[in-house]
Amino acid sequence: MGWHKILVATLILFSFYLFSNAVEVTYDGRALKIDGERKLIISGAIHYPRSTPEMWPSLMKKAKEGGLNAIETYVFWNAHEPLYRQYDFEGSLDLVKYLQTIQDAGLYAILRIGPYVCAEWNYGGLPVWLKSIPNMVFRTKNDAYMNEMKIFTTMIVDKMKDENLFANQGGPIIISQIENEYGNVIGKYGADGKSYVNWCANFAESLNVGVPWIMCQEDDAPSPMINTCNGYYCDQFTPNNNNVPKIWTENWTGWYKGWGDKNPHRTAEDVAFAVGRFYQYGGTVQNYYMYHGGTNFGRVSGGPYIATTYDYDAPLNEYGEPNQPKYGHLKELHSHLMSIEKILTYGNVTNKDYGNMMSHTIYNYDGTRVCFFGNANQNDAITINFEGTNYTVPAWSVSILPDCKTEVYNTARVSTQTSVMVKKLPDEAQEKSHYNLEWSWRVEKFEHLKAHPLKGVTSANQLLDQKLVTNDTSDYLWYMTSFEIDEDDPVCCEDINLQVQNSGHILHAFVNGKHIGTKYAQGGSYSFWFERAATIKKGINQISLLSVTVGLQNYGDHYDNTQNGIIGPVKIIAPNSQEKDLTNNRWAFKVGLTGFERELFSENGKKRKWHPNIPLNRKFVWYKTTFRTPRGEEPVVLDLWGLGKGTAWVNGHDIGRYWPSIIADNNGCSTSCDYRGSYYSSKCTTGCGQPTQRWYHVPRSFLRNEENDLVLFEEFGGDPRNVSVNTVTVGQAIGHAYEGNCLNLSCNGGRVISDIKFASFGDPRKVYGILRKGSCHSPKSLSMVERACVGKESCSIDVSEQTFGPSGCRSSVKRKRLAVEAVC
């Protein structure tokens, strides 16, 4: 056989191998169909740039172990094309590798191309350079926008096809999305908005990806686009076409956090209730937003004012570890749902409404029945008689009975432990001095106009939009001007006020080289007036205004038109109320700061001279130190308590903006949270009176084997002596389980249970967040739990009187339970 025949045969075999796993993805009015079989899809959002490639396999493994069979992600246009026709698909932006990692874990993928994504991502994921294209209008019938959207989306689709990543090629992608939540704003764009939606649909279909396309939050999505639901609850959602499945693209597992906010929490019981209701009422595709939120490394957070953490109170926390009990409680729910997949997707459905928000749903298929008992009453448990047997369903909960006789799961009854995570110094730090950090420093140079031209400066006879000048390459932009005063000038001389209208979101003002004040946006309003006293002189005076953005707006109709920076007016006001308007002066603009230009955070920074004897609470200072890598595999965080605001780098990796000096207000927090009733983002919060974010994630892949460089740019002024390197681990495991079940407790990372602080089998209660004995209690509770658990990394306890002996509970205690608090 000739070499060319061998080559052809090899290519045929290779093609067969590639497409041997190819599947056909279709749908009907009930479910997604994969090779003709209806499927339940339980998906979770994990955004590739908010983690690292080294974390991806572990995240996929935990997602699969948590009962997911799909992973969803957006595609981030401004990350992949930050500058016009300059693309980046390396490192954490390696979308192909990410999707291959999903497939390697045996999971499907949902690819939400958008390319507008919202996602609390900077500028909603759209590149700022779009605004510089003539006649550009975002997200509407606009040739300039549609052309650029078409180019990018086609490139992404072609890249997926080239790597055989769509399901019909043997890849993991079973659903694609075009646009995102456009129905929330379409009314503001009039007829052009509707035309744009139709164009999106036709364009998507023309790409021939071989899998269904969805449009989320788009009630009038044209066929064959499938409209889907986003929100905390989507059980009452109905698609606009009877021939498509009921899809929930975003089940918000918590909420994001902005600078100045408290910590939002959504209970495991409420998330499970929402999921249970969705599948009870015919839903078949559900995606958690987020399943792992991750970290807004670098400058990717949007807002304005979205924090660096994107934890989202998701089932996997920011560091990729299980957020218990949410992770485990949902894992149990997923297991039960998947065990009845065939019946839920093929069975005949019967519903009965008992009144008072109580209902049951029966799925019947091939002689087998499954029952859901749903109680949406937020106040009262309700007892129903079903086929001669009484069943009590707690308030705001769903019970699953896979045989319509025995309840195997109730969304309000959590048997998974609550893991209390703690940050601590590494175990090897026998003495605190071992981890005292030695700091050096450099000053950041202030910019002002001089007799000779500054490098990298542009000029205009007006104030310019900051994002259009920086092209989103920096948070910082200097606005500089000069003006001449003589003794006859109405504003002469000496004491004046400088008045500036800013939409920055932070302003640092300098007059004649002297810093006269700083102000930042507060209270959710990102435009403010700045006014401070200053001294001017006869002759030439210089004004330098440093405007700072903290994430560009990412949501809303025409959000791209929001101006950033110093929008004017800028005035000099004399004590006699005479004014000098500088708005239309000749202004010079310089992007960034000197330390960033010189890359003081990289290896280049080591070549510069750094000074000992650090100054404290001084603005515009660079700090540098080294630290050792903590042993083990526990997540690593920086405790930046004592600093003001700035940016941190570890070994040249930008771990994001820090701002521990911004404090959440003292009102609205609670030590407990009632899961019952509709959730909203401020319902269950903690962290009142505390920094919005004190700890900052450093992925272990950023660290070296031994010594690491830490560089800080401190903008507001702070004390780096309090900075420390910590690891994150389970400090306490608190478990509850009802009689007839097992209580499982675990300490992660090879650590063992060292003590049992509380154990009670009977009717234990929680008072002000502290476990207490209830009306009845087994005296052997503590000793039996200690015997089973102390000295072990994990333990399992049968919850029964056979284990603990008599509890003395009266008949009024319907279900006895065990509560344990263990120390790791």
Q: For position 453, what pLDDT does the model report?
A: 67
SS (H, E, C) 179-248: CCCHHHCHHHHHHHHHHHHHHHHHHHHHCCCCCCEEEECCCCCCCCCEEEEEECCCCCCCCCCCCCCCEE
Residue by residue, what is the 3-state secondary structure of 476-498?
Answer: EEEEEEEEEECCCCCCCCEEEEE
Query: Six-digit token pair at 591?
Result: 């992007």
Contacts of 752 (CB under 8 A, 6+ apart): 791, 792, 793, 824
SS3 622: strand
Q: Which residues contact 311 (CB under 8 A, 6 or more apart)?
A: 254, 257, 293, 317, 318
Q: Annotated catalytic sites, by residue?
A: 181, 250
- Residue type for 144, please? A
3-state secondary structure of 578: coil
Output the pLDDT for position 393.
Answer: 98
How does DSSP classify residue 461? S
Q: Which residues pair with 581 in a beta bridge?
A: 571
DSSP conformation class of 50: G
Report pLDDT digits (tens) over 611-670: 999 999 999 999 999 999 999 999 999 999 999 999 999 999 999 999 999 999 999 998
SS3 347: coil
Task: Look at residues 252, 180, 175, 188 and name the one whose alpha carbon lies nearest to residue 216.
Answer: 180
The DSSP call for residue 426 is -
Classify 536 as helix, strand or coil.
Answer: strand
**Long-range interactions of 377-383: CB distance < 8 A, separation 24+:** 378/676, 378/677, 378/678, 379/676, 380/356, 382/354, 382/356, 382/358
Report residue 191 as tokens.
């007829």
Decide if pLDDT at 455 tops 90.
no
3-state secondary structure 240-273: CCCCCCCEEEEEECCCCCECCCCEECCCHHHHHH
Supply 66's token pair: 């948590």
Token code pair at residue 774? 């209830």
718 within 8 A of 687, measured Cβ to Cβ: no
Burial code (b: 16+ CB inside 10 Å, e: under 16) for 669-681 equals beeebebbeebeb
Note the pLDDT of residue 82: 98
The alpha-helical segments, DSSP class H, found in 242-385 are: 268-280, 326-339, 341-346
Q: Are 466 and 492 in contact (CB under 8 A)?
A: no
φ, ψ for residue 458 (rounded to 5)? -110, 160
Confidence of residue 769 (pLDDT cuts 50, 70, 90): confident
pLDDT in tens, 686-742: 999 999 999 999 999 999 998 999 999 999 999 999 999 999 999 999 999 989 889
Structure tokens at 617: 């609470």
pLDDT tens by residue, 771-785 = 999 999 999 999 999
- Contact (Cβ atoms closer than 8 angstroms) between residue 824 and residue 763: no
Question: CA-CA distance, 783 to 128, in Å (whole number)?
Answer: 63
Give the least confident one: 59-63, 339-343, 667-671: 667-671
Report the candidate in 269, 401, 326, 345 with the shortest Cα–Cα distance to residue 66: 326
Q: Give me the pLDDT at residue 3, please.
A: 53
| Cα–Cα distance, 251 to 272 (Å, whole number) | 10
- Arithmetic mean of pLDDT, 149-153: 98
Q: Could you tell me the two tokens for 88?
A: 């980046």
**Token digits for 204?**
């998507």
CA distance 491 to 498: 11
Query: What are the distances in angstroms from CA 471 to CA 80, 339, 382?
Result: 15, 52, 59
Per-residue confidence (pLDDT) for residue 686, from 0 to 100 = 96
**What are the residues whose beta carbons fall under 8 Å from the beta carbon of 518, sequence distance 6 or more?**
506, 507, 508, 509, 619, 716
Task: Specify the pLDDT at position 432.
Answer: 53
> Is residue 823 helix, strand or coil?
strand
Contact 554, 120 (CB under 8 A): yes
- Rounded Cα distance between 392 and 383, Å, is 4
Query: What was the pLDDT predicted at 17?
Result: 45
The first and second tokens of residue 781, run together, are 């509770």
Q: Is-cis flag, bond preceding 325, omega within 30?
A: yes
Dump pLDDT digits (tens) for 540-553: 999 999 999 999 99
Q: Is the pLDDT of residue 132 over 50?
A: yes
What pLDDT does 18 receive? 44
Q: DSSP readout, 99-125?
A: HHHHHHTT-EEEEEEES---TTBGGGG
β-bridge mates for residue 248, sequence order: 229, 286
Handedness of CA 712, 717, 719, 725 (dihedral sign): negative
First CA to last CA distance, the chain: 67
The amino acid occupying position 310 is Y
Q: Nearest to residue 409, comparing CAs of 401, 418, 420?
A: 401
pLDDT (tens digit, 9 = 90+) per residue, 798-811? 999 999 999 999 88
Q: How confident is the model at residue 4 (pLDDT cuts 50, 70, 90)?
A: low
Secondary structure (3-state) at 781: helix
Rounded (5°) CA angle 277-265-320: 95
Is residue 423 over pLDDT 50? yes
pLDDT tens for each residue of 11-47: 444 444 445 689 999 999 999 999 999 999 999 999 9
- 8: enclosing H helix or E strand: helix 3-19
Q: 429, 435 in Cβ contact below 8 A?
A: yes
Q: Is the pLDDT assigned to residue 441 strictly greater than 90? A: yes
- Which residues does 574 contact at the CB level (< 8 Å), separation at least 6? 490, 491, 492, 496
